[in-house]
A = this chain, B = another copy of it.
Amino acid sequence: MAIVLGLPKGSLQESTFALFKRAGFNVSCSSRSYIPSIDDDEIKCRLLRPQEMSRYVELGLLDAGICGYDWVYENGSDVEEICELNYSKATSNPVRWVLAVPNDSKIKTVKDLQGKRISTEAIGLTKRYLKKHGVKADVEFSWGATEVKAPELVDAIVDLTETGSSLRANNLRIVDTILTSTTRFIANKKSWKNSAKRAKLEQLKMLLTGALEAQRRVLLKCNAPEKTLDKIVKVMPALHAPTVNRLHGGDWYAVESVVEERMVRDLIPRLTKNGATGIIELPLNKIIF
């Protein structure tokens, strides 16, 4: 019995396939197909727009899927969230849905939207936000390029932003952040209660998060003389104690530890100061603590 797994079509597709590759699964898809092949008989893959993923997971047409939290919320889908998967096309920052207006607009807060026209791709999200603030406004569905519509065609927009650069380039000012969203691994609630399916989903969770962790970490190895061994061990980051190993025929020890890649540049000078030699850094495929 195989699980049916929805993978996101579009900007996340390439990085999703790469993540599965590092996790140990070869997923491939010809450019015009929506049925990727995967080298695991217990999984069947489907490509879907992230906007529609949670809808079909909720209906049970997919056992599980990967998509942004924003679209789970927009669709109001009742699904099980297995875990966060912290990756995206460009950076590891979460994306935000923001309310934005032209730089020189008189709109300063959500309250000023009363009676105005707003363009957005997330109708449900926007209407719920306005309702929460007791504001009535005209919310129009945007077929794309939302950020160029204000002020000519609408008064405000609700749009997705990662770095804010596209908004700045269009002379827009952020009034409020409505939702912060990251990628999620979600399951149909019934599939999650099925023990065979759950075991497969748990395995996927372990391998996917293991591959994501490995991308941000490296294996650092060095040789330490006996007299400064304790100092060197202390310098090594603390999450997991370094592996220490006495070398054959001498007073030296091999010390190795998995560390965050971005800390290495400060760690290496401190290790050399404490007498460490032969420092090498190796890339990792996966980490399971």
User: Which A residues are closer than 8 A to B by beta carbons?
Assistant: 9, 23-25, 34, 39-40, 46, 49, 51-52, 55-56, 61, 140, 142-145, 148, 152-153, 203, 206-207, 210, 214, 218-219, 223, 240, 243-249, 253-254, 258, 261-262, 264-265, 268-269, 272, 277-289
Contact = CB atoms under 8 A, between A and B. Distances in A.
Nearest to A59: B153
Which of A46, A144, A265, A269: most chain B CB closer than 10 A?
Answer: A265
A2 to B, nearest CB: 14
Contacts of A245: 245, 247-248, 254
Given A145-B9, A264-B286, A282-B283, A153 B61 contact: yes
Given A25-B265, A283-B282, A272 B243 contact: no
Contacts of A39: 262
A25 to B, nearest CB: 7
Contact of A281 (B243, B265, B286): B286
A269 B206 contact: yes
25 contacts: A9-B144, A23-B265, A24-B262, A46-B152, A49-B144, A51-B143, A55-B140, A61-B153, A203-B269, A206-B268, A206-B269, A206-B272, A210-B279, A223-B243, A240-B278, A243-B278, A245-B245, A245-B254, A246-B248, A248-B253, A277-B289, A278-B289, A279-B289, A280-B286, A282-B282
**Residue with the greatest number of chain B CB neighbours at <10 A, chosen from A24, A56, A283:** A24
The 7 closest A-B pairs by CB, nearest first: A244-B248, A49-B143, A281-B286, A281-B285, A24-B265, A279-B288, A34-B148
Nearest to A123: B141
Contact of A247 (B24, B55, B203, B244): B244
A242 B125 CA distance: 54
A140 B59 CA distance: 13
